[in-house]
Amino acid sequence: MPSDIATLERVYVEYGSTVALEDVTFTIKPLDFVSIIGPNGGGKTTLLKVLLGLLTPTRGTVEVLGKPPAQSRLQIGYVPQQVTMDKTFPINVWDVTLMGRLGKKALFRKYSAEDREFAAEALNRVKLYDLRHRQIGNLSGGQQQRVLIARALTSRPKLLLLDEPTASVDTEIKRDIYDLLVELNEELTIVMVSHDIGVVSSYTKTIACLNRTLVYHNEKHITSDMMAAAYRCPVDLIAHGVPHRVLAEHEHEHGVAPHTH
């Protein structure tokens, strides 16, 4: 196994004349739990697609598990942003979870005993095995998110990528999902895109700020300089215990306006 899970060296991604990622250099160590924070449109989802091999950089090099990302994809679990499930769509938790094994089998081959074993194990990990026959559209948002995590786990990944895994759930469910991810991090490396700036430092090991360019110091502390670099404006960090952060007044195209988060 390579000493690093993933390395990006001077990576650029461009969509026509728009630069989505600019000169990104980033190393992900084994068993790290990295949170990537930053504004909407800052390139966070683009970075995940690069790691998955779904996007080829315009410039720069990327390796995941010692290979080009497209060759490592079967060892990467991916949990996309949650979408609203159609309550009438006739698919249950078990079938959704088994879909995580599709890349491991030949086309049109039936699921094997091993596939079913891994699916059962994954549902047990997320504490949903007893609901395996339930139609997924009838689950709560937090339960649906756990099913998507289970689906990603069935491939036995070495790297788990999550795009806003707690965006559509309430605070208590968020805590449960983060606790699950901390448990999973004992065995696999995790990279998570999140807007939960106030809580990620309590759960993750390191934090990267991304707004086209990436600021990463291989630590979990969020400094004013990191936030200012990511959000392109001055930032005042409120003391611990207060669940919000305030971005100081700054110039923008319509004049000066305060930003509060």
Summarize pLDDT for 68-87 with one digit per residue, the tens.
999 999 999 999 886 667 77
CA-CA-CA-CA dihedral for 126, 132, 134, 137, to nearest 10: 50
Cβ atoms of 51 and 69 closer than 8 Å:
yes
CA distances from 196 to 137, 142, 165, 169, 255 (A): 26, 16, 10, 12, 28
Domain coverage including residue 182: 6-85+157-222
Handedness of CA 12, 206, 224, 170 (dihedral sign): positive
CA distances from 234 to 86, 168, 212, 231 (A): 42, 29, 17, 8
Look at residue 137 and tell me if it is in a domain.
Answer: no
Angle between helices 141-153 and 171-184 (to 10 degrees): 10
pLDDT at 167: 82
pLDDT at 253: 39
Taking residue 147's Cβ as centre, other Cβ atoms within 10 Å add up to: 25
pLDDT at 107: 63
Between strands 213-216 and 206-211, the pairing is: antiparallel
Quote the number of domains for the chain: 1
Look at residue 228 and tell me if it is in a domain.
Answer: no
Computed on alpha carbons and rounded to an integer, the radius of gyration of the chain in Å comes to 19
Q: What percent of the chain has pLDDT over 70?
A: 81
CA distances from 210 to 21, 40, 46, 216, 251 (A): 9, 10, 11, 9, 20
Look at residue 26 and tell me if it is in a domain.
Answer: yes
Look at residue 151 and tell me if it is in a domain.
Answer: no
For the whole model, what pTM was predicted? 0.83
Indicate which CATH number applies to the domain containing 34.
3.40.50.300
Look at residue 81 and tell me if it is in a domain.
Answer: yes
Look at residue 115 and tell me if it is in a domain.
Answer: no
Look at residue 236 and tell me if it is in a domain.
Answer: no
What is the mean predicted confidence (pLDDT) over 27-31? 97
What's 67's DSSP letter?
A: B
Look at residue 229 and tell me if it is in a domain.
Answer: no
